[in-house]
């Protein structure tokens, strides 16, 4: 029995217990999330202020750590106790799993009144629905396959912005020779797999990436190109800080911002740290597609799934949150702070910086073909069990320099089979 089935069994008992209610006032919306870094906290504050300005009470439940793993542990315990929050940051396939448990509320009234089917890209709308009904509201679209660069560090090292994997290693060598840490990285499983999936996209291409991480195709997972991915990952690890274990992503980003490191492989939420530091895109830092992934876009969509409530006032607050999350004013301020792309298709992008404008253009181009792919490392392509299996294999490989790439590819396939 997998984790979600075990949770379903416990919830079937817990469902006999009443959900918590809020007694009075204009309604409270409790939001469980993991937006806790500097830029992320500023972003979520804009949502809180808007909900409060509409006369409702915001109850913040921020759980830091683990790329959301810690928050999911809290959410499962709350769900088992029959006391879920009004909204929780849930992504990708997890929305479908929570929907199957019967705990999510249908947002038909607010989605129809605000024309969500017209506002949202078809791929995004599909992810937000369960059994044909919206049960979650997206707040942004993150691009994962970014490379962040300190141009001053590259200039001092006599290096250039890389566009291919070969160029990436040339740039890294020059940075290292000039006394910079070539690649800032935090040694946490989700960060390890963020690097891994960008390498996989570069080497396998979007079709191969999809076969590996969406279709979970054995031939692709164990084939020569996947072995090459692990070989390249081992080489890339040589340019990372040896003391990276346990480091948070924003601490690694600070290494690049402060000029101690030259580059970071991270999703566009990294831009929120540059923005919080008062840096200007295109001047103080550069953002480029990870070498070899130009034309492709691995997406990570932040969304708030809405849980069933009983108190009418709290339901009004919940609906207000869902409505506000897609309004242009919030979409602009939130995504400017978060570093991400607005999820609405009708947004004026002139208010956004060069990185976000490039992201919007690349999203539309990738959407036309096969370049738009769900991020494995960020809960968008598979179940949490499969993702966890991949994390374990990738992080073990990075922490064991003598690990064999060919054997690791076989281990990856075996681990995924066991987790399915």
Three-state secondary structure call for residue 113: helix
Q: Taking all residues of the chain, what is their mean pLDDT, rounded to a whole number?
A: 92
Q: What single string gives the DSSP state of each residue in 230-258?
A: HHHHHHHHTTB-TT-BT--HHHHHHHHHT
Instruction: State the pLDDT at residue 336.
Output: 87
CB–CB of 261/181 below 8 Å?
A: yes
CATH 3.40.190.10 region(s) of the chain? 3-142+300-359, 143-299+365-419
Residue 190 near residue 269 (C-beta atoms within 8 A): no
* pLDDT, tens digit, 9 for 90 and up, residues 260-317: 999 999 999 899 889 889 999 999 999 999 999 999 999 999 999 999 999 999 999 9
Which residues 6+ apart lie within 8 Å of 316 measured at CB? 26, 27, 56
Alpha carbon 38 to its chain centroid, in Å, reads 16
- Could you tell me the two tokens for 192? 């390890």
User: Do 306 and 95 contact (CB within 8 A), yes or no?
Assistant: no
pLDDT at 26: 85
Tell me the CATH architecture of domain 3-142+300-359: 3-Layer(aba) Sandwich (3.40)
What is the pLDDT confidence band of residue 357, given thresholds at 50, 70 and 90? Answer: very high
> What gap in Å lies between CA 155 and CA 248, rounded to an integer?
27
Nearest-CA neighbor of 285 among 127, 146, 186? 146
Name the pTM for this structure.
Answer: 0.86
* Selection from 199, 190, 250 nearest residue 392 by Cα: 190
- So what CATH class is 143-299+365-419? alpha beta
């Amino acid at each position: 029995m997998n984790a979600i089935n075990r949770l379903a069994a416990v919830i079937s008992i817990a469902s006999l217990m009443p959900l918590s209610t809020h007694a009075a006032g204009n309604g409270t919306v409790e939001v469980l999330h993991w937006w806790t870094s500097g830029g992320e906290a500023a972003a979520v504050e804009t949502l809180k202020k808007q909900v409060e300005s509409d006369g409702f009470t915001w109850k913040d439940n921020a759980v830091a750590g683990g790329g959301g793993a810690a928050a999911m542990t809290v959410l499962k315990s709350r769900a088992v106790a029959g006391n879920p929050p009004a909204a929780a940051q849930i992504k990708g396939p997890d929305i479908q799993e929570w929907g199957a448990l019967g705990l999510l509320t249908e947002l038909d009234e607010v989605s129809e009144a605000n024309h969500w089917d017209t506002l949202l890209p078809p791929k995004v709308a599909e992810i937000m629905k369960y059994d044909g009904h919206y049960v979650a509201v997206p707040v942004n679209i993150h691009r994962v396959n970014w490379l962040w660069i300190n141009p001053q560090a590259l200039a001092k090292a006599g290096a250039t912005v890389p566009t291919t994997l070969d160029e990436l290693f040339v740039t890294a060598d020059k940075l290292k020779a000039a006394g910079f840490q070539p690649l800032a990285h935090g040694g946490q499983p989700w960060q390890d797999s963020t690097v891994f999936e960008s390498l996989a996209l570069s080497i396998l291409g979007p079709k191969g990436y999809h076969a590996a991480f969406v279709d979970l195709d054995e031939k692709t997972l164990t084939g020569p190109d996947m072995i090459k991915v692990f070989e390249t990952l081992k080489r890339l690890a040589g340019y990372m800080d040896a003391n990276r274990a346990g480091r948070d992503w924003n601490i690694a980003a600070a290494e690049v911002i402060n000029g101690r490191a030259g580059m970071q492989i991270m999703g566009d939420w990294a831009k929120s740290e540059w923005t919080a530091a008062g840096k200007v895109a295109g001047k103080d830092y550069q953002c480029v597609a990870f070498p070899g992934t130009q034309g492709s876009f691995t997406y990570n969509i932040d969304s708030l799934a809405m849980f069933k409530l009983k108190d009418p006032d709290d339901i009004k607050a919940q609906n207000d949150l869902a409505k506000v999350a897609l309004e242009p004013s919030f979409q602009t301020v939130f995504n400017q702070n978060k570093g991400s792309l607005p999820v609405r298709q009708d947004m004026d992008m002139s208010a956004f910086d060069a990185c976000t404008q490039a992201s919007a253009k690349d999203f539309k181009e990738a959407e036309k073909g096969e370049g738009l792919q769900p991020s494995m490392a960020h809960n968008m392509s598979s179940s949490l069990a499969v993702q966890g299996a991949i994390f374990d294999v990738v992080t073990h490989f990075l922490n064991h320099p003598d690990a064999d790439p060919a054997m690791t590819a076989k281990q990856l396939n075996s681990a995924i089979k066991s987790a399915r």
